[in-house]
A and B are shown apart, each in its own frame.
Chain A
């Protein structure tokens, strides 16, 4: 019985150790993240201890525990491969009974930085509300219970969703999780700002509910003991223990089911047929015939269907909108910020062939001249423009509307178009000259060893794009500072549009022969990782 526990804990330790042994970079990253996490936890601990005696200390402690538990519940959905001992399908061939297995896995999940971090925070939460010897004794029980609830919660959620997590749809979802975390961070930031202005008292109503919700109820019990409401404390502790028992039971059940039922990861996704067929017909009919339409259709489909491409697009679209419009809303903006949309979306032209991954061979097999390469690149630029052009125009109009700066709308639009053209031109050229591969698994967007290449491509390209725009920027400044230039600023719209188009065509012309001549080198570069 304890044999299994010891073995699994040892397995977890060796997995940790072997993971670190694989590369120096990984070790450095692990140590750095451990130090940062523990420093952060230590600071939180100090902060929570400093809160002792504060009127709303209990609200902070209860809420903190609840947030911690939420993190434990959500994280396994986004980092399914983080812990291999967690994956019951790997243990399916071993002659193990569910009960000792659950005990062993629970023990193993207590090993790691995450649980240590959680322990430190929980200790902080419990100590910030504990007063008197009885409360300290309760705190010990409460911290252990709360930690176990957190870990069991993560395991139960992961086991219940293992079908989803091992399927293709689940892995696609994981790629988008970075966005969820980014947006979540924005919300936390927003909440923190409101708290800063409103005071900790705002937390109390939420805490009154949460102190009955495990595992926050354990911290609630410590507080109750400090207040000498022993009955309340006992109820809260019992509630936590019951929640733990329930979670472990749910987890054990899904484990048993997983280990006795066949693996469904190869059986799913038979249902998506009709929907995809429906979307296919309409799109193809609107596009031009020949290579141009074919490539555009494929590119546009990938924006929606390929998780990496989708994540990149959503990021660009979001930032391209948020920066100009939010700045305008706060009254600190300028209509020229609207060019951000064109710039952010233009980035999508970069590393075009890397976005294909090693499937680029299918493209390479059909390019036998500079002309083919030109049509291919032009079609990709056109696909991009289908989304980018209306979006950039929309963002510019929106920014103008918020600022009420309608007279400057034409020149801002002209600048946007010129910048977009420059980005497309440099994007096409760097796609041919500095291709690099985008790993399809995980969160990295650059394969190991190609980071330098990626930086050269993106930053060199962006600086060049800015330089390429210099004539239009200079013209804008000149018209704005010269005595009666204002009357002619509308000219910047056609000038910017024509300039952008010309620069794009020039960029494509220069990129095409390089692409055609370097097909094997591009394929090798985008097939890494």
Chain B
């Protein structure tokens, strides 16, 4: 696993009607790293991750995860990856514990092992108190955490997380972070998408910047950042959003005379 690519994407395209969501993505992500896929809203991050994880069929291109083609060898790939998609539901009429039990057994793990792992995950993610509550009554942060637990349960080699910190409170975010850091420290790969640069900068050692359906830059964090002091600065330059100043139009805005 060391030195090889965890994910290898070649010439990936996806169109929805007239709109091109992903326009020829080539991407090679190293194994054992904490990888951030960053980009503004509508850059094609979710579409790309959906195609990489086999949830969306690409119009063109190939995807390999740990050396296996996602579309030709789903048996090898699906057992090795964990996914937390954005904007898709969970089986919300199950309780948190039931959801983990369902998910683990569906993946063919023995029942006793599933229950043991579920108990530990619920404990680490601070969900033990809510384990018998229906997921439909969970808050956003709790949903992300139970989704993460379901994605980790079968101990995947590569974990794909779409916006895992979106709408999550700081305490839950810290918990999620702790779990993910421990997971990558053991040699596993995490690929997650976000548009919060500070977060990506503090978590990731490898970054891919996406805008308008294409990859604008990819590599170790320091390389992508270049001479900029922050990732935010490098990012704004890469997506061409700098120098836009709306200040002069809003001269009435502010305290003082009304």
Contact = CB atoms under 8 A, between A and B. Distances in A.
B136 A361 contact: no
B105 A362 contact: no
B56 A357 contact: no
A262 B83 CA distance: 36
Nearest to A520: B57
A272 B130 CA distance: 10
A270 B139 CA distance: 12
Give the interface SS of chain A, mostly helix, strand, loop or mixed: helix
B62 interface: no
B98 A366 contact: no
Interface in B88-115: 88-95, 98, 101-103, 105-108, 111
Contacts of B150: 362
Contacts of B136: 168
B106 A524 contact: no
B134 A305 contact: yes
Q: Which of A269, A272, A364, A366 has the most CB of B within 10 A?
A: A366
A521 interface: yes
Contact of A359 (B88, B95, B132): B88
A519 B83 CA distance: 15
Interface in A256-275: 266, 268-270, 272-274
A301 B95 CA distance: 11
B55 A520 contact: yes
Interface in A155-199: 168
A362 B90 contact: yes
Contacts of A359: 88-92
B106 A361 contact: no
B93 A305 contact: yes
A294 B93 contact: no
A368 B74 contact: yes
A276 B92 contact: no
Given A272-B134, A301-B94, A368-B74, A363 B106 contact: yes
B78 interface: yes
B229 to A, nearest CB: 40
Nearest to A516: B74
Contacts of B91: 298, 302, 356, 359, 362
A8 to B, nearest CB: 26
Count class of interface residues, chain B: 35 or more
Contacts of A83: none
A155 to B, nearest CB: 28
B53 to A, nearest CB: 8
B137 A168 contact: yes
B56 A276 contact: no
A322 B87 CA distance: 41
A274 B132 contact: yes
Given A362-B106, A365-B83, A301 B98 contact: yes
B89 A358 contact: yes
A392 B168 CA distance: 48
Which of B55, B57, B133 has most chain A Cβ within 10 Å?
B55
Contact of B133 (A270, A356, A369): A270
B75 interface: yes
B85 interface: yes
A268 B133 CA distance: 11
Contacts of A362: 90-91, 102-103, 106, 150
Given A358-B88, A365-B83, A366-B78, A519 B54 contact: yes
Contacts of B85: 361
B132 A277 contact: yes
A295 interface: yes
Given A269-B133, A306-B93, A368 B105 contact: no
Interface in A300-314: 301-302, 305-306
A280 B115 CA distance: 13
A291 B55 contact: no
A365 B54 CA distance: 8
Contacts of B139: 266
B62 to A, nearest CB: 15
A322 to B, nearest CB: 28
B49 to A, nearest CB: 12
Interface of A: 168, 266, 268-270, 272-274, 276-277, 280, 289-291, 293-295, 297-298, 301-302, 305-306, 356-359, 361-369, 519-521, 523-524, 527
22 contacts: A168-B137, A269-B134, A280-B95, A280-B98, A289-B111, A294-B102, A305-B134, A358-B88, A359-B88, A359-B89, A359-B91, A361-B83, A361-B85, A364-B55, A365-B78, A365-B83, A366-B78, A366-B103, A367-B78, A368-B75, A519-B55, A521-B57
Interface of B: 53-57, 74-75, 77-79, 83, 85, 87-95, 98, 101-103, 105-108, 111, 132-134, 136-137, 139, 150
The 9 closest A-B pairs by CB, nearest first: A273-B132, A368-B74, A294-B105, A305-B93, A368-B75, A358-B88, A359-B89, A520-B57, A366-B106
Given A297-B102, A298-B102, A301-B93, 5 more contacts: A277-B132, A294-B105, A298-B91, A368-B75, A519-B55
